[in-house]
């Protein structure tokens, strides 16, 4: 698993969540990838911690790119997307926001949602 290098950072669809710091970085990820699942989370949030292994699995097993946004470190970015509670998942397809899911979701529900945009 240690084969990842820094040069892979810009390539389409990574198998691990990408941590986002700021609007321009999220814009780049959304622009460079067809489907992006963005996880707005906070370190102190219990349901966010429960969601973590689910989004990691989805990053590895689906065609979606997973981006993670720490709402405490990126309050402006969170408010730009109307995030009022965590976890909030925002799904982008072809550069547009297509879904917003608030609260803890099951892996199967999220996988089905992602696959409806990736197939």
pLDDT tens-digit series, residues 94-107: 999 999 999 999 99
45 is catalytic: yes
CA distance 25 to 29: 6
Question: What's the confidence (pLDDT) of residue 13?
Answer: 52
Which one of the listed residues 23, 25, 45, 101 is annotated catalytic? Answer: 45
Q: Domain 14-118 falls in which CATH fold?
A: Glutaredoxin (3.40.30)
Question: What's the confidence (pLDDT) of residue 70?
Answer: 97
Query: What ranges do the domains of the chain cover?
Result: 14-118
Which one of the listed residues 36, 48, 59, 91 is annotated catalytic? Answer: 48
pLDDT digits (tens, 9 = 90+) for 42-97: 999 999 999 999 999 999 999 999 999 999 999 999 999 999 999 999 999 999 99
67 is catalytic: no
Regarding pTM above 0.75, the answer is yes
Q: Which distant-in-sequence residues (6+ apart) come within 8 Å of 34 by Cβ?
A: 12, 63, 93, 94, 117, 118
């Amino acid at each position: 698993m240690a084969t990842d290098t820094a040069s892979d950072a810009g390539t389409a669809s990574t198998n691990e969540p990408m941590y986002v710091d700021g609007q321009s970085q999220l814009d780049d990820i959304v622009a460079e990838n067809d489907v992006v699942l963005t996880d707005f989370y906070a370190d102190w949030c219990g349901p966010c911690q429960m969601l973590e292994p689910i989004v990691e699995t989805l990053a590895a097993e689906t065609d979606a790119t997973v981006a993670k946004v720490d709402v405490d470190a990126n309050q402006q970015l969170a408010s730009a997307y109307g995030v009022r509670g965590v976890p909030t998942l925002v799904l982008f397809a072809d550069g547009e926001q297509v879904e917003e899911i608030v609260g803890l979701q099951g892996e199967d529900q999220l996988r089905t949602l992602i696959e409806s945009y990736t197939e």
